[in-house]
Amino acid sequence: MNDDITILADFDSALYEQVEPPLVSLYLPTHGSAPGDESDRIEFEALVEQARAKLAQERERREYKGVDERLAYAAEHFDDLMSPAPGGSLAVLAGNDRTYIYRLGYEAGPLAFVGERFYVKPLLKNFQFGSHYFLLGLSADRFAFVHGDFGSLERVELPRDVLDAFSEEFPLVYDGHEGALDYSSLENHMPPYHGWKSRNDVRKEEAGKFFQYVNKAVTDYLVAGTDLPVILVSLPEHQSAFRRISTIPHLLDEGIEKDIGGIEAPELLSDAKAVIEHVREARATELLEKFGDAEAHGGASSDLKAIGLALVERKVRALFLAEGAYIPGGFDEQTGEVFLFEREPHGRFQGPELADGFVRAALAQDADVFELPAEKIPGDSGIAALYRY
C-alpha cells in the first residue's frame, strides 16, 4: 500500500491543522466483501467522479493533480482499503500530499465533499466516548479480554507473562488451552477443608484468589497506557465480588450480567453497544444539567458567535450538537469570528458548514462532543457549549 496513505482509528490533529486545499472527503457505507459483488466499488467510483467534477469546476488541474492521483489510487485499491465487515463505512480524506483512511463500524454517507478543510462531522461517532472499548469476560475460573467497536469484537492477544498464568475458554476467544483453574483441579483442594468448609465455600475462596490475579493481569498488562472503558461481562454474583477488589481504571459501573461463555458474538456486541449508549447518555445528561447555572454565570452558551470565541480560547469542555444539524457557514480559527451563508436550494450540502468546523476545533482541544436529539440542545441555534471555566 502507498506509504502516503495513513489508516487512522482516533482523531488526528492533521485533520484540523491547516493543510493546503483543495481537500476531498468521501464517505461510503460498505456491505462486506462477497465474491462477484462490485456494488460498493461502483458506488465508490461514482463518488470519486463527483469529487473530480467539483474539482474541475472550481480549480485548475495543476492545483489538484495530487488529489486526483490519490483518488485514482484509492479506487484502484478499494478492496484493500475497505473493511470486510458489513454495516460499516469507508472514509477517504485526500489532499495533494496525503490520504487518510477510516474504517468505520457504522453507516456514514454516501457523500463526496470538496472544500478548504476535511469534512469530519461524519467521523464524530468514531471519536465519541465508547467508540472503542474492552470487554472483560469473567467466571470463577476463566477470563477473556476482547476489544470492541461499533461493528466488531476481536480477541486481545495476551502477553506471554499473562498466558503463563491464565488461559481462556470462551467461544469468542478460545485458544485451546486447559483453564487456569478448572473445577477438576479445584476438587484437589477439598480434603484439607473437609468437614469445616463446604464445596461452595472452597469455590468462592478460590474464585476470590482468581479475581485478584485477573485484576492484576488486566491492570498491569492489558489496559496500561489506554483510557478505553472496560465493560465487565459476568454473572451478577461475580460482578459484585470482582468490583469489590477491582483497581482497573475506567471499569464502567454498568456491566453485562451474563455468562460470557454462553453468549454468541452478535448478542455480546449488541449488549456492549447498549451499555456504551447508556453511559454516554448519562454523561451528556450530567453535563447538560450544569448548563443552566453555568450559562447564568458566563460558563456556557448557545450563541454561535460566543461559542466560536470560546473555541479559539480553547475553553470548551463539552459541545452539544443537534442531530443532523446543518448550518451553512464557518468561523475564523484565529479570531473566532463566525460567518453564516444562505441555505442552498433543496438543502444540498456543498459548502463550508459551521457545525463541522466547531466539531474539528472541539476535538482538537479534547472536548467531549455529543450529537443529541434537537429538543435536548439548550437554546435554538442547534449548538451549545459548556466551558471549562
Mean pLDDT of all residues belonging to the chain: 82
Q: pLDDT value at position 204?
A: 62
pLDDT band at 150 (very low <50, low <70, confident <90, very high): confident
The percentage of the chain sitting over the pLDDT mark of 70, rounded to a whole number, equals 82
CA–CA–CA angle 120, 123, 125 (5° rounding): 140
pLDDT band at 333 (very low <50, low <70, confident <90, very high): confident
pLDDT over 70 at 176, yes or no:
no
Do 208 and 228 lie in a common domain?
A: yes
* 142 against 278, higher pLDDT: 278
Structural domain of residue 64, as residue ranges? 3-124
The residue from 124, 159, 193 where one domain ends is: 124
Long-range residue pairs from 149-154, CB within 8 A, at least 24 positions apart, any chain? 149/105, 150/88, 150/104, 150/105, 150/106, 150/125, 150/126, 150/273, 151/83, 151/85, 151/87, 151/88, 151/104, 151/105, 151/106, 151/269, 152/85, 152/105, 152/269, 153/265, 153/268, 153/269, 153/272
Does residue 364 sit within a domain? yes
* 19 against 300, higher pLDDT: 300
Sheet strands (E) in 249-363? 300-301, 316-322, 329-331, 338-340
Rounded to a whole number, what is the distance in angstroms from the first to the last CA of the chain? 46
Does residue 292 sit within a domain? no
Q: pLDDT value at position 38?
A: 84
Task: Specify the range with the lowest mean pLDDT, choosing from 55-64, 198-207, 231-240, 268-277.
Answer: 198-207
pLDDT over 80 at 344, yes or no:
no
Do 362 and 327 lie in a common domain?
A: yes
Closest CA to 306 of 333, 337, 332: 337
Does residue 217 sit within a domain? yes
The residue from 108, 124, 140 where one domain ends is: 124
* pLDDT per residue as tens digits for the range 33-57: 666 678 899 999 999 999 999 999 9
Task: Specify the range with the lowest mean pLDDT, choosing from 154-163, 234-243, 371-380.
Answer: 154-163
Find the CATH number of the domain harbouring 329. Answer: 3.30.1330.30
Q: Report yes or no: 138 and 234 within 8 Å, Cβ to Cβ.
A: yes
Q: pLDDT value at position 172?
A: 38
Q: pLDDT value at position 387?
A: 97
Does residue 285 sit within a domain? no
The residue from 209, 241, 276 where one domain ends is: 276
Q: pLDDT value at position 236?
A: 94
Do 210 and 168 lie in a common domain?
A: yes
Crossing angle for the helix pair 304-312 and 354-364, nearest 10 degrees? 30
Matching residue, cell 450544569: 290
Number of H helices, E strands in the chain: 13, 15
C-alpha span between 176 and 386 (Å, rounded): 50
Do 232 and 143 lie in a common domain?
A: yes
Do 136 and 119 lie in a common domain?
A: no
Task: Specify the range with the lowest mean pLDDT, choosing from 17-31, 96-110, 167-181, 250-264.
Answer: 167-181
pLDDT over 90 at 199, yes or no:
no
Q: pLDDT value at position 10?
A: 79
Q: pLDDT value at position 37?
A: 72
Do 245 and 229 lie in a common domain?
A: yes
Sheet strands (E) in the chain? 5-8, 23-31, 86-94, 99-104, 111-115, 133-138, 143-148, 153-155, 230-233, 300-301, 316-322, 329-331, 338-340, 368-372, 383-387
pLDDT over 90 at 232, yes or no:
yes
Do 202 and 312 lie in a common domain?
A: no
Find the CATH number of the domain harbouring 205. Answer: 3.30.420
Average pLDDT over residues 275-286: 93
pLDDT band at 351 (very low <50, low <70, confident <90, very high): low
Does residue 282 sit within a domain? no
Q: pLDDT value at position 341?
A: 80
Closest CA to 93 of 79, 109, 107, 381: 109
| Burial class for 292, CB neighbours closer than 10 Å (0-12, 13-18, 19+) | exposed
* pLDDT per residue as tens digits for the range 369-386: 999 999 999 999 999 999
Average pLDDT over residues 73-99: 87
Does residue 380 sit within a domain? yes
Task: Specify the range with the lowest mean pLDDT, choosing from 30-39, 106-115, 185-194, 375-384.
Answer: 185-194
Q: Among 74-88, 171-185, 202-216, 288-302, name the most confident range.
A: 288-302
pLDDT over 70 at 243, yes or no:
yes
Do 267 and 313 lie in a common domain?
A: no
Closest CA to 207 of 257, 144, 161, 138: 138
Q: pLDDT value at position 186?
A: 28
Domain count along the chain: 3
Do 228 and 311 lie in a common domain?
A: no
Average pLDDT over residues 315-330: 89
* The three three-digit cell numbers of residue 57, written as one number: 469546476
Q: Report yes or no: 69 and 78 within 8 Å, Cβ to Cβ.
A: no
Do 137 and 258 lie in a common domain?
A: yes
pTM: 0.74
Does residue 381 sit within a domain? yes
The percentage of the chain sitting over the pLDDT mark of 90, rounded to a whole number, equals 47
Average pLDDT over residues 304-322: 95
Find the CATH number of the domain harbouring 118. Answer: 3.30.960
Do 263 and 347 lie in a common domain?
A: no
Does residue 290 sit within a domain? no
Do 264 and 180 lie in a common domain?
A: yes
C-alpha span between 273 and 148 (Å, rounded): 9
Q: Report yes or no: 273 and 150 within 8 Å, Cβ to Cβ.
A: yes
C-alpha span between 81 and 76 (Å, rounded): 10
